[in-house]
Amino acid sequence: MGLIFIKYLWFVIPFLTILLISPVEARFDYQVEFSSRLVSLSADTGTARRASSSFDGARLDLRGFGRLEGDLEFFAELQLEAAADPAGRLSQLFVQQLDLLPGVDLRIGRFILNYGEQFTRRTDNASGRANYLIGNQLVDPAVRQSGLELSGSLERLGWSLALTDGQASPDFQEGQSFAVSGKLWKRLLPRLAGSISYYRVDHDSPVLTNFTDNSNAAEIYQQIDEQLVVDPLTAEPDVTAWQVDLIYDPVVGQLPLEFYGQLGRMDLPDEQLDYRSLEIVCSFLPELWLAARGGRLDLQSGRVDRLQLAAGYRFGPHSLFKLEYLHQDSNYSNRAYQLEGVTGEISVSW
């Protein structure tokens, strides 16, 4: 734990100093999330079968929030994984000026791109309470990049526009360009909401964007074999992408339901990739739910299909348990395999 504070001492001291000695009113809060999983998966390539059951590394997320009088906000997120870098990684760090202009907010720093809706309902390191399942969408392009973002609303139409470095981390390579992303969203009906998102970057090789990294989608299921490629997405220098999302939350009888649909396309230098998914959640009690998600990815050389079934139960305001079954069938670039198994996760937050 001491390594964490030493590594990020340069951030902690200025952050706390601003909040504590500021001549105006300052407020500070924090959030902690912990999770651990038991993963039991098997992969069948047609010629060989491999199975693996084990606990993955325990994970911890630490978030700090600060606000100064005058609508200036600070946010920092530190992610740790016991099996990885013991000093963790500072995944987000930004300041946000609310009402820079009437109804317009400005965000500067390193943040998650506001692209699609899957990043609001996904598992991210230890943070999985917004995800009704354990694994993520088959295609999850939500990434962290550095830059600035403007956002606001106009006639109940929400919008955001970001200019970022288009990379996992800035390195000022020759050939680096900027990435542009935008999003529009609106409540279409009392129980129906939708959004459309766009992303564009054109680096010169060998500079690559992390937008197509898709490690969010592969993170949990990659453990059975480090050489097993869960999906065909790879890092690319040139990407044009769009995505449409719909969320419908009716009440049938007295049973709350939620439907989440995703439809997207990525145009890559040598490939066009189309994907879609549908997620259904049924909440029998505030503490108990069942969820199902089906996804498909199509490209010129083949396709990938994924089915996830899950149940979740909240033990109280701070802890929950989820159990998920996965079946994935892949056949692309002359590579065919099936992935199947069960994952359990316990999560605690305070």
Q: What pTM did the predictor assign?
A: 0.88
Instruction: Summarize pLDDT for 1-43 with one digit per residue, the tens.
Output: 444 444 444 445 555 555 555 555 667 788 899 998 888 888 8
Predicted pLDDT at 3: 45
pLDDT digits (tens, 9 = 90+) for 263-288: 999 999 888 999 999 999 999 988 99
Q: Which residues of 120-149 are buried (b: 16+ CB within 10 A; e: fewer)?
A: ebbbbbbbbbebbbbbbbbbbbbbbbbbeb
What's the chain's average pLDDT?
86
- Each residue of 105-133: pLDDT tens digit? 999 999 999 999 998 999 988 898 999 99
> What is the pLDDT, as a whole number, of residue 271?
87
How high is the pLDDT of residue 23?
Answer: 53
Encode pLDDT of 159-201 as tens digits.
Answer: 999 999 988 777 777 778 899 999 999 999 999 999 999 999 9
